[in-house]
A = this chain, B = another copy of it.
Amino acid sequence: MRILDIQAIEDIAIGAAVMGTGGGGDPYVGKLMAIQAIEEFGPIKLLDADEIPEDALVVPTAMMGAPTVLVEKVPNGEEVIGSFDALKEYLGKKVFATMPIEAGGVNSMIPLALAARLGLPVIDSDGMGRAFPELQMVTFHLHNVSATPMMLSDEKGNSLLLNTINNVWTERLARNATVEMGGSVMLAIYPMSGRQVKESGIHGIITLTEKIGRAIREAKEHHQEPISTVLSVVGGFELFRGKVVSISRKTDGGFVRGESKFEGVEQYKGHTLTLNFQNENLVAQTETEILATAPDLIAVLDQETALPITTEGLRYGARGVVIGIPCNDQWRTAKGIATAGPRYFGYDLDYIPVEERIKRNGKGGRE
């Protein structure tokens, strides 16, 4: 057990934007919620998964919706409490702790804001080790944990309790309701026993995102070259450096889909990189090579500061370094690849781990 203070929240928010791989929503809004909650209610207890009793009830919390909308509709902390309390009451059991379903983006912060307000501990685990656009894209799902009973609520006071036959139906019905309710809602989802969290979670992930954020902050303070610092913390690879020459985005069916193009600089001069995204970056490719695909992480960092740039934050002419980070091994199983690999997202590509692609392509990718 350790305590998360405001500096920790600041660092986690930066790290979470890296893990957000372009999507997941800008953690800034969530960070403000979490910091305000800590200032009002005191710091947050962070527990390791192995500190949870086997039969304790853990209820993850999250926001659902297209990041564009998340940015426009600033939530108040009460919303999270609404769906959380409603599910708790429905389950009729004491809740031991909350946790994120995704460590990337704004959903890294929602459980922290809730935990501070309710004086609940947060588990240092998630179900992605990154951000993903759909509710079944969690390692809990790979271990056959049901997303339901799940509570979904909007800021107007409408709420839905879902019980579904599988997690794909949960995604389908919840996505639909989210669009109808105005584009973003609060979730209490994947209620789990301590044992299930231990078996199916990705552990130490909040600590890792904090390390990333701290490394970026300290690199600036100590005038170090920040990109390589980040790469060494995450075990990632540089894929490309370039200037943004085009961005196209479309919010549609509760997702933001599109692509951004980078014109190479330095050793990448003469090449163009395209990033395809559905909320998160899914495929990074040049005119000749696939450099990385989901479920591996593809992030864009500011070349000077290594601060992550979300898809929403990309501006024409911005200079970015595109990096690839190997995903958690749970995503590299057959079910993991079927759930969140390139073919699920409609790309006719086999999943090849980013580190192998780097070797094959035989260039770029200095670690």
Contact = CB atoms under 8 A, between A and B. Distances in A.
A181 interface: yes
Interface string A145-188: 00000000000111111111100010011001100110000000
B173 A165 contact: no
Contacts of A176: 176-177, 180
Contacts of A86: 163
A205 B158 CA distance: 33
Interface string A332-367: 000000000000000000000000000000000000
Contact of A161 (B160, B164, B169, B177): B160
A63 to B, nearest CB: 18
Contacts of A156: 165, 169
A161 to B, nearest CB: 4
A65 to B, nearest CB: 15
A162 B160 contact: yes
Contact of A158 (B90, B157, B165, B180): B165
Nearest to A158: B164
Contacts of A181: 173
A86 B163 CA distance: 10
Contacts of A162: 158-160
B164 A169 contact: no
A297 to B, nearest CB: 31
A328 B169 CA distance: 41
Interface of A: 86, 90, 156-165, 169, 172-173, 176-177, 180-181
24 contacts: A86-B163, A90-B90, A156-B165, A156-B169, A157-B164, A158-B162, A158-B164, A158-B169, A158-B173, A159-B162, A159-B163, A159-B164, A160-B160, A160-B161, A160-B162, A160-B163, A161-B161, A172-B180, A173-B177, A173-B180, A173-B181, A176-B176, A176-B177, A176-B180
Given A156-B169, A158-B165, 15 more contacts: A86-B163, A156-B165, A157-B164, A158-B162, A158-B163, A158-B169, A159-B162, A160-B160, A160-B161, A160-B173, A161-B161, A173-B177, A173-B180, A176-B180, A177-B177
What 4 A-B pairs have minimum CB-CB distances, sorted nearest first? A161-B161, A157-B165, A176-B180, A158-B164
